[in-house]
């Protein structure tokens, strides 16, 4: 089968190669990939800004159909439509694993980074990491399940957005739009920010019902925040852009004793005004990956129609056009770009 492989560490070193089909273990499912989304992490892998263990097939945001099950699999059958966590191995015994935070286990292994991922025709996954796709959700929409649950984890598990909170979400990409919808589902009033380059993304945001979209290059964000919060500042900032400017702005606009949650990755070190954090008693939270709770709640919110995924899908390309897809992602053309595997034979 053809797969997109990180062949070695260093910038570049991504190629579509012919590789062997994966073999299904006794506690695993072999899944035929329907779609796999391009993620910011994939761009960091291309630039060698994120650790990998080559040679490895990359890609982790996927949906598909079960084509084979191992002898010990009991919850799934051939033909089931599924998605899966990309965290595929943990120690199972550390304090993180025992408290439900296995996704950041020190010994964690992730598909698309450490083990073969989903930019291929087939992938094998442990049964315990697989989830059924709700009947209301298409295979294209389901390819957004992994970023969906990362956003759900950030908003619900880590930030604990509450009804009535004014929530500033920075960055109107896929993660920002998902986080904004999750915050709205929890009863938050959302302000979504971006730049002139995000015009099309703002249009999608408005279609999703996000009440306030702000172009920070043309509008007075501090004034808007002041008007909406009676000068107090936002209750919560969820930073999804990986932009130093967004961090600086978010810290300045949050209320005293507010919560600042960092979701976006930077690929470099960025300065933070810690004096402001101290004097205003701002709570800083990082949000990485997901939890079992986030998977269950995220998929449920989509099934209930409280989070919409289809409007975020702006292009679908064959795997062989991965370079075009990656470039469009970097150039912020569209929102979520999906790749389809090559189905030879």
**Closest CA relative to residue 40, chosen from 60, 56, 26:** 60
* Per-residue pLDDT at 71: 97
In a domain, 54, yes or no: yes
| Domain shared by 107 and 208, yes or no | no
| Domain shared by 124 and 14, yes or no | yes
* Per-residue pLDDT at 129: 94
Q: If you search the block for the tokens 């969906």, which residue do you land on?
A: 148
Segments of the chain scoring below 50 in pLDDT: none
SS3 of 172, please? coil
| Domain shared by 108 and 179, yes or no | no
**Burial class of 265 by CB neighbour count within 10 A (0 to 12, 13 to 18, 19+):** middle
In a domain, 299, yes or no: no
Q: What is the pLDDT of residues 156-182, one digit of tens each?
A: 999 999 999 999 999 999 999 999 999
| Domain shared by 21 and 119, yes or no | yes
In a domain, 301, yes or no: no
**Closest CA relative to residue 169, chosen from 256, 282, 254, 255:** 254
How many C-beta atoms lie closer than 10 Å to residue 217's C-beta? 11
Count of structural domains, the chain = 2
Residue-number span of the structural domain to which 87 is assigned? 2-144+309-340
Domain CATH number, residue 177: 3.40.50.720
* Per-residue pLDDT at 5: 98
Question: What Å distances lie between residue 247 and 40, 151, 240, 278, 280, CA to CA?
Answer: 18, 18, 10, 16, 15
In a domain, 294, yes or no: no
In a domain, 272, yes or no: yes
* Per-residue pLDDT at 344: 77
**Closest CA relative to residue 156, chosen from 307, 272, 257:** 307
| Domain shared by 246 and 156, yes or no | yes
* Per-residue pLDDT at 334: 86
In a domain, 345, yes or no: no
Angle at 328 between CA 325 and CA 332, to 5 degrees: 140
| Domain shared by 129 and 155, yes or no | no
| Domain shared by 157 and 281, yes or no | yes
* Per-residue pLDDT at 50: 85
In a domain, 168, yes or no: yes
| Domain shared by 52 and 169, yes or no | no
Contact assessment for residue 40 and residue 288, using Cβ atoms and an 8 Å cutoff: no
Alpha helices in the chain (DSSP H): 40-46, 95-98, 139-142, 145-152, 174-185, 199-207, 221-229, 244-253, 274-279, 292-303, 322-330
In a domain, 89, yes or no: yes
| Domain shared by 191 and 244, yes or no | yes
Q: If you search the block for the tokens 């984890």, which residue do you land on?
A: 153
DSSP string, 240-254: -S--HHHHHHHHHHE
| Domain shared by 97 and 131, yes or no | yes
* Per-residue pLDDT at 268: 83
**Burial class of 328 by CB neighbour count within 10 A (0 to 12, 13 to 18, 19+):** middle
Domain CATH number, residue 50: 3.90.180.10
Q: What is the 3-state secondary structure (H, E, C) of 19-79?
A: CCCCCCCCCEEEEEEEEEECCHHHHHHHCCCCCCCCCEECCCEEEEEEEEECCCCCCCCCC
* Per-residue pLDDT at 15: 97
| Domain shared by 186 and 236, yes or no | yes
| Domain shared by 7 and 101, yes or no | yes
């Amino acid at each position: 089968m053809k797969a997109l492989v990180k062949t070695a560490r260093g910038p570049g070193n991504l190629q579509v190669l012919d590789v062997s089909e994966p073999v299904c273990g006794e506690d695993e499912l072999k899944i035929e990939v329907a779609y796999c989304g391009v993620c910011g992490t994939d761009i960091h892998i291309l630039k060698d800004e994120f650790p990998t263990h080559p040679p490895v097939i990359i890609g982790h945001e996927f949906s598909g159909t079960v084509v084979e099950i191992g002898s010990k699999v009991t919850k799934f059958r051939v033909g089931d439509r599924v998605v899966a966590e990309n965290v595929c191995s943990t120690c199972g015994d550390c304090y993180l694993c025992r408290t439900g935070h296995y996704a950041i286990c020190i010994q964690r292994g992730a598909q698309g980074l450490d083990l073969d991922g989903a930019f291929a025709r087939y992938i094998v996954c442990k049964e315990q990491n697989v989830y059924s796709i709700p009947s209301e959700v298409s295979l294209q929409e389901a390819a957004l399940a992994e970023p969906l649950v990362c956003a759900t984890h950030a908003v619900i598990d880590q930030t604990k957005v509450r009804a009535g909170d004014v929530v500033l979400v920075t960055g109107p990409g896929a993660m920002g739009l998902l986080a904004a919808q999750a915050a709205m589902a929890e009863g938050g009033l959302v302000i979504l920010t971006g730049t002139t380059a995000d015009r099309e993304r703002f249009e999608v945001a408005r279609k999703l019902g996000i009440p306030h979209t702000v172009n920070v290059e043309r509008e007075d964000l501090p004034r808007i925040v002041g008007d909406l919060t009676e000068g107090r500042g936002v209750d919560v900032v969820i930073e999804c852009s990986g932009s130093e400017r967004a961090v600086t702005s978010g810290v300045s606009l949050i209320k005293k004793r507010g919560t600042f949650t960092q979701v976006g990755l930077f690929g470099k070190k960025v300065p933070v005004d810690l004096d402001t954090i101290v004097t205003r008693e701002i709570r800083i939270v990082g949000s990485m990956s997901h939890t079992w709770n986030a998977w269950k709640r995220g998929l449920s919110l989509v099934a209930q129609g409280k989070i919409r995924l289809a409007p975020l899908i702006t292009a679908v390309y064959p795997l062989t056009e991965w370079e075009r897809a990656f470039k469009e992602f970097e150039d912020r053309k569209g929102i979520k770009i999906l790749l389809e595997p090559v189905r030879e034979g």
